[in-house]
DNA sequence: ATAATATATATGTTTTATCCTATATATGAG
DNA sequence: CTCATATATAGGATAAAACATATATATTAT
């Protein structure tokens, strides 16, 4: 599981609660690893069982007690081993590409609209990428040293470049449809 | 579920067995939607229950009876609705990017090796993309009309272009590491 | 006043996907 | 003669992820 290593990675920066982690995930790695709240809490419980993190209860009067999780030495070791280890292989899943694959059953007009839809979504995502580094989320406020920040930017860069490539792809297809280069049957 | 629409899409070309479908998946959409054998059989059972496909038993003497699945009218309708419908949003998950995100804990030398590893894998994948259209798999032998073939090529193109973008990204990072542009702490 | 949002955790259920194994037989390679 | 590969289906076990809901309180906005 990669989620558990992502959690260990963040706890290696600083101790956090599950609630903190959810916000941090959303403002930093969401673009390549979305995480569900319930999944984070369950993974924290699991990491605690395996002594890779330790829970510290911080009582509060007004709200539920905070459970602050600290990474342990063995947790740090596991994290290091995983990050330094071989690249986990990606099994990519893209539902939009399934639509593309079977869109031969649509009319060329429908296909054109479809790709214009894709291109629109991609342009929106690209715009959001441009804004990200300027809007300081919880992630930037709390944890990043220049070195950590640098690697975060690398992941943003990767997302942006891949998205740009896909947008150009969609645009070239729009051109091909308009100039009648799609085989009919 | 996108898998069920992919199956409907193939059965819309031609009736197939679960076994056929597994081979077809592996030789056509694997690069953006890998499918497990057991999952295909279970999904076929589920589609049958919902009357989107119909099973035809073809007895064989020597081997287990073939169960050939045919798409029904309502199955065709569902497929059309889904393919014509709005783009399903992609929630991308990339374990390698988690490694990148946290690789600040490694030495620059280790990071360099890591990215050279990534680049190597990507170059391999790109080479495979180049070979695909020439090696006729079960997919090309059995089902594609020029129109269907065209959309298949589009998905390959997308994979190739995204991979190329990521490779260039990795190579630019290698250069940055070599020229000491990675912040130290 | 009331509703929404933020803080904080937890669990039950379902879906999706992976892994492994079992059943049967035929063919071809070493 | 054995072992791998191909044909064909199926199900148990587990892991991963998504979806929904519950508890409790404080603050802010309408």
Q: Torsion-angle region of residue B51: left (phi > 0), alpha (psi -120 to 50) or beta? A: left
Distant-in-sequence contacts of A45-50, Cβ < 8 A, 24+ apart: A46/A4, A47/A4, A47/A7, A47/A8, A47/A75
Out of B33, B102, B149, closest to residue A9 by CB: B102
Q: Answer whether residue B48 is part of any domain.
A: yes
- Domain, as residue range, for B21: 2-84
Q: Which helix (H) or strand (E) holds A89?
A: none
Residue with token string 């990043």 = A144
On whether both A13 and A53 belong to a single domain, the answer is yes
- Put simply, the answer to whether B2 touches A95 (Cβ < 8 Å) is yes
- Put simply, the answer to whether A105 touches B118 (Cβ < 8 Å) is no
Angle of the A18-26 helix axis to the A2-13 helix axis, nearest 10: 100
Q: Which residue of A has its CA nearest to B152?
A: A101
State the pLDDT at residue A90. 82
On whether both A80 and A112 belong to a single domain, the answer is no
On whether both B54 and B102 belong to a single domain, the answer is no
State the pLDDT at residue B59. 81
Q: Answer whether residue A149 is part of any domain.
A: yes
Q: Answer whether residue B144 is part of any domain.
A: yes
- Put simply, the answer to whether B90 touches A95 (Cβ < 8 Å) is yes
Tokens matching residue B160: 């190739």
Q: CA B70 → C1' C27, Å?
A: 30
Weakest mean pLDDT among B60-69, B147-156, B175-184 = B60-69
CATH number of the domain within which A33 lies: 1.10.10.10
On whether both B56 and B103 belong to a single domain, the answer is no
Per residue of chain A (185 residues), give pLDDT as tens: 899 999 999 999 999 999 999 999 999 999 999 999 999 999 999 999 999 999 998 877 767 788 999 999 999 999 999 999 999 988 899 999 999 999 999 999 999 999 999 999 999 999 988 887 666 666 677 767 899 999 999 999 999 999 999 999 999 999 999 999 999 98
Determine the residue among B78, B81, B95 to mutate to test chain A binding: the one whose Cβ has the most chain A Cβ atoms within 10 Å. B95
Q: Answer whether residue B15 is part of any domain.
A: yes
For nucleic chain D, give residues with Cβ below 7 angstroms from it.
A 1-3, 34-39, 62-64; B 17-20, 23, 37-38, 41-42, 44-45, 60, 63-68, 91, 93
Q: Tell me, yes or no, if B1 comes closer than 8 A to chain A by beta carbon.
A: no
On whether both B36 and B60 belong to a single domain, the answer is yes
Q: Answer whether residue B89 is part of any domain.
A: no
> What's the mean pLDDT in B113-134?
89
Exposed/middle/buried for B155, CB within 10 Å: 0-12, 13-18, 19+?
buried
Q: Answer whether residue B152 is part of any domain.
A: yes
On whether both B107 and B161 belong to a single domain, the answer is yes
On whether both B52 and B101 belong to a single domain, the answer is no
On whether both B70 and B103 belong to a single domain, the answer is no
Nucleotides of C under 7 A from a protein CB: 7-12, 15-21, 23-26
- Put simply, the answer to whether A97 touches B145 (Cβ < 8 Å) is no
| Cα B48 to Cα B61: distance, rounded to the nearest angstrom | 25
Q: Please give the tally of structural domains in chain B.
A: 2
- Averaged confidence pLDDT in chain B: 92
Q: Residues of A with CB below 8 A from B166's CB? A: 158, 161-162
Q: Which residues contact A46 (CB under 8 A, 6 or more apart)?
A: A4
On whether both B50 and B8 belong to a single domain, the answer is yes
Minimal CA separation from B67 to chain A, in Å: 24
The answer to whether the beta carbons of residues A46 and A4 sit under 8 Å apart is yes
State the pLDDT at residue B58. 87
State the pLDDT at residue B144. 76
State the pLDDT at residue A1. 85
Among B59, B84, B109, identify where a domain stops.
B84
- Put simply, the answer to whether B106 touches A118 (Cβ < 8 Å) is no
Among B58, B84, B110, identify where a domain stops.
B84
- As for the ipTM of the complex, it is 0.93
Asked if residue B114 has pLDDT above 80, the reply is yes
On whether both B112 and B53 belong to a single domain, the answer is no
Give the best-scoring range by mean pLDDT among B18-27, B123-132, B148-157, B170-179: B170-179
Among A39, A55, A84, identify where a domain stops.
A84
Weakest mean pLDDT among A125-134, B12-21, B131-140, B166-175 = B131-140
State the pLDDT at residue A78. 96
On whether both A99 and A58 belong to a single domain, the answer is no
State the pLDDT at residue A91. 86
On whether both A50 and A75 belong to a single domain, the answer is yes
Q: Answer whether residue B90 is part of any domain.
A: no
Q: Answer whether residue B17 is part of any domain.
A: yes
């Amino acid at each position: 599981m990669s989620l558990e290593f992502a959690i260990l990675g963040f706890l290696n920066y600083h101790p956090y609660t599950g609630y903190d982690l959810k916000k941090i995930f959303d403002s930093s790695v969401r673009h390549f690893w979305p995480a569900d709240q319930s999944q984070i809490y369950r993974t924290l419980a699991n990491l605690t069982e395996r002594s890779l993190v330790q829970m510290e209860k911080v009582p509060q009067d007004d709200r539920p007690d905070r459970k602050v999780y600290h990474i342990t030495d063995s947790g740090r070791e596991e994290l290091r081993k995983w990050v330094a280890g071989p690249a986990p292989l990606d099994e990519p899943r893209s539902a939009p590409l399934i639509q593309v694959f079977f869109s031969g059953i649509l009319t060329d007009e429908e296909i054109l609209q479809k790709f214009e839809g894709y291109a629109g979504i991609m342009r929106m995502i690209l715009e959001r990428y441009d804004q990200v580094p300027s809007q300081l989320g919880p992630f930037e406020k709390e944890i990043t040293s220049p070195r950590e920040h640098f690697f975060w930017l690398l992941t943003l860069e990767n997302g942006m470049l891949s998205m740009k490539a896909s947008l150009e792809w969609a645009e070239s297809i729009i051109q091909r449809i308009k100039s009648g280069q799609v085989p009919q049957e």
